[in-house]
Structure 1
Amino acid sequence: MIALFLAPLLIGAAPAPRDWSKTVTQTSSGAFVVGNPKAKVKLIEYLSYTCPHCGHFSAQSAGVLKGKYVRSGSTSVELRHAIRDKLDMAATIIARCTGPAGFFAATDAMFASQEDWLVRGMQFDRVNAGRMGLYPENARLRALADGAGLTDIGRARGLSDAALDACFANEADTLKVVVMADAAWTAIRAAAPNDGGTPSFVVNGKPYPHADWAALDKVLQAAGAR
């Protein structure tokens, strides 16, 4: 009798929709992708952590892009590094050090505090450039990250000093980032030969080099983002 009473409830209960913003994969080139691998809309963003426009885009887009379009499964977002300077590379190493599970949250944290660590990092580099010039490249980047406060962001995301040391010493991944960045700048300049910069976007294979969030949102919706 109880089973008969419960049967209609069980039949009518729909499973909760999957949250695709928790799904992160990594491409063979080393880029991280969040969202449904079979999403109808595939967005590529070329970004630089020291780019103020990238920070603005991150803040303006997050609620809808990741909170709605990616979450629903209609859209995936692939972030490709377009390195601009030493601070950018230091920030990139730390963000990537958090791995697929932590990368996108670390990226958001980098942009949320960009105004602070960017100023600190430039000041530190200006004062200590001569001394750091004597260091090996990975040690220079680590010292710059420490001076800027970037390593504090990494620690707040759960990275230990040992993990940070290992990531700054990981020459294979650093080389992968350099190769990715070279390819990114080639693509950016091809899309906007006279004034290409970051952030720059590709939606389903078509470049949108100068789109702000308001303009890109219209493109995504037209492509099927929901």
Structure 2
Amino acid sequence: MTALRRFAFACLAAPLALGLAACGEDAATDGAPRGEPIAAIPPPAGQSWVEVAAVTPEGGVRIGNPEAPLKLVEYASHTCHVCAEFSQQGAVPLDGYVEKGVVSYEIRNLVRDPVDLTIAVLARCSGPGAFHPLANQVWGNFDALMATVQSNGEALQQASQAAPAQRLQAIGQASGLIEFFAERGISRDQAMQCLANTAQAEQIAEASDAQAQELNITGTPTFFLNGTRLQPTSWGPNQAGPGLEAALQQAGAR
């Protein structure tokens, strides 16, 4: 059975609850790279590094200089409150590091539930350049979105029983996500067409499943810098220690 079918045939409420329990609980190492300050690298004429976006071979979406000396990868879930907190605190300052051409930032989906998968598909609906802004919009409105999801539990349960080709469309409608993305430039027709693309949804879900197993990722967010797993799950310092910004600066970002 494919990863999409495992998500699609599961009861919606249970996976969502399990996913929330796994949010922010991944074990990690504290081997962040170290380096001297790195000078800014100018973008091509007329471009901004933040606007340079591409889908990677791993299925993530990267913004920034593809040859940046510091390559940051986040395994993230759109239904994870810790990921939302990271975005709310870190999205703007992280863009500042990306803009200097020193850091590239890639988001790879770690799909935890059908609503998460639905958002992952919708966020890709306008191409790679819109993915990061739309993902940050979801995380920036996290509490209101999740309240709508939780309040529509019965409708979402019914949506999860729809035929496979229509299941994500039904979840998108029952969860209010179609309307949310329509307010951000993705028309209802465009959203429904994207959600009917089961091949893309399966690709996202299967990449998530394979990479989680390969890298032993059990919680979100999980960060890697130049291939090294990082300890922080927050942008700034907290009770667990220094945040991700400190790790970037230790590696040479300024």
Query: TM-score w.r.t. structure 2 length?
Result: 0.74
Measured against aligned partners, the alpha-carbon deviations of 1:97-153 in whole angstroms (never above 9, x if no partner) come to 1211211111111111111111211221x2125533441134232222222221122
1:70 corresponds to which of 91, 94, 98: 98
Is 1:205 matched with 2:233? no
Gaps spanning 5+ residues in structure 2: where?
1-43, 237-242
Distance 1:123 1:181, change over 3 A: same
Matches of residues 18-29 of structure 1 in structure 2 within 5 Å? 19-29=48-58
Structure with the bigger RCO (C-alpha within 8 Å, sep 6+) is: 2
Is 1:143 matched with 2:176? no
Using the TM superposition, give the Cα deviation of residue 47 of structure 1 relative to its aligned residue in structure 2, in angstroms: 0.3
Q: Which runs of 4+ in 1 moved over 3 A?
A: 15-18
Partner SS state of residue 80, structure 1: strand
Number of residue equivalences: 205
Q: State how far apart, in whole Å, the 2-side matches of 1:47 and 1:101 are.
A: 18
Partner SS state of residue 184, structure 1: helix
Gaps spanning 5+ residues in structure 1: where?
1-14, 191-195
- Match of residue 135 from structure 2: 107
1:33 corresponds to which of 62, 80, 88: 62
Is 1:43 matched with 2:72? yes
Q: State how far apart, in whole Å, the 2-side matches of 1:130 and 1:121 are.
A: 11
- Match of residue 25 from structure 2: none
**Where is the helix percentage greater, Structure 1 or Structure 2?**
1
Partner SS state of residue 43, structure 1: strand
Q: State how far apart, in whole Å, the 1-side matches of 2:214 and 2:151 are.
A: 32
Measured against aligned partners, the alpha-carbon deviations of 1:76-101 in whole angstroms (never above 9, x if no partner) come to 00110000111111111111112112
Q: State how far apart, in whole Å, the 2-side matches of 1:151 and 1:188 are.
A: 33
Matched-pair contact (CA < 8 Å) for 1:102–1:157: no
Matched-pair contact (CA < 8 Å) for 1:21–1:34: yes
Query: TM-score w.r.t. structure 1 length?
Result: 0.83
Q: State how far apart, in whole Å, the 1-side matches of 2:160 and 2:63 are.
A: 37
Matched-pair contact (CA < 8 Å) for 1:21–1:70: yes
Distance 1:23 1:205, change over 3 A: same
Which has the higher Rg, Structure 1 or Structure 2?
1
1:174 corresponds to which of 201, 205, 209: 201
Using the TM superposition, give the Cα deviation of residue 38 of structure 1 relative to its aligned residue in structure 2, in angstroms: 0.8
The range that moved more, 80-89 or 207-216, is 207-216
